[in-house]
Amino acid sequence: MDGPGLAWTTAVLAFVAAVPLWRFTTHAITIAHEGGHAMFGALTGLFVKKITVERGGGSTSFRQEKWGFVPTLAAGLAGYLGPSIFGLAGAWMLVHDISPRSVLLMTLVLMAMLLVMVRNFFGFLAVPLTGAMVWAVAMRASEDVQLVFTYIWVWFLLMGGTRQIPELFSVWKGGGEPDTGVLAKATGLSTAFFVAFFWLGSMAALIYGGVLLLRNPLPT
């Protein structure tokens, strides 16, 4: 299968996982969402207290009671943009000749770091099971299978990043959403602004990441 053929085929498979099968795959995007909060919060000086991962959502708590402006902005934005950021990073790695196995192993490292901070039963099941699937492909599958799976995984993160937004909109219209509320309070901007920002950001990542995967040759 040529490069564009692989990219289109895996995009279709990822779409099936991210849209018709969303109720069964949403926890994987929640892992990336909470991982985004935790990673960018930690990078800006916050200490993660605990993470919960549920089938349709989750939460990340930090030890500090008061956050500075930069940590609040970084940790807040990196939740709904987390899957898109990780997907875009994966697409960039693939088209710059970083092996699919390396992409999967990096995914495993991030999942292992997140698992240490998980504090609920569903999270203790969902994170290791998702990681076990990634590990099995990275360490046991052939190179061709690794390539196909990694393309699907990257597409799924990019598509899942946009798939979150309708649910965000519904919760926001219903009276409140923690991420947009915290960001609105810290910046003085409206929660509607951040709902729109997350939608535009995730769509931009999907389009740009998709172009990278569709227009570049297969990794060697």
Residuewise pLDDT in 10s, the chain (220 residues):
556 788 999 999 999 999 999 999 999 999 999 999 999 999 999 999 999 998 878 999 999 878 899 999 999 999 999 999 999 999 999 999 899 999 999 999 999 999 999 999 999 999 999 999 999 999 999 999 999 999 999 999 999 999 999 888 887 777 666 788 889 999 999 988 999 999 999 999 999 999 999 987 665 5
pLDDT of residue 76: 94
Q: Are 220 and 97 in contact (CB under 8 A)?
A: yes
Distance of alpha carbon 58 from alpha carbon 50, whole angstroms: 11
pLDDT of residue 178: 77
Residue 73 to residues 18, 65, 119, 179, 184, Cα–Cα distance (Å): 27, 15, 24, 10, 10
Three-state DSSP class for residue 60: strand
CA dihedral angle for residue 150, residue 154, residue 157, residue 162, rounded to 10 degrees: -150
How far is residue 134 CA from its own chain's centroid?
15
Triad 61, 174, 52: Cα angle to 5°: 20
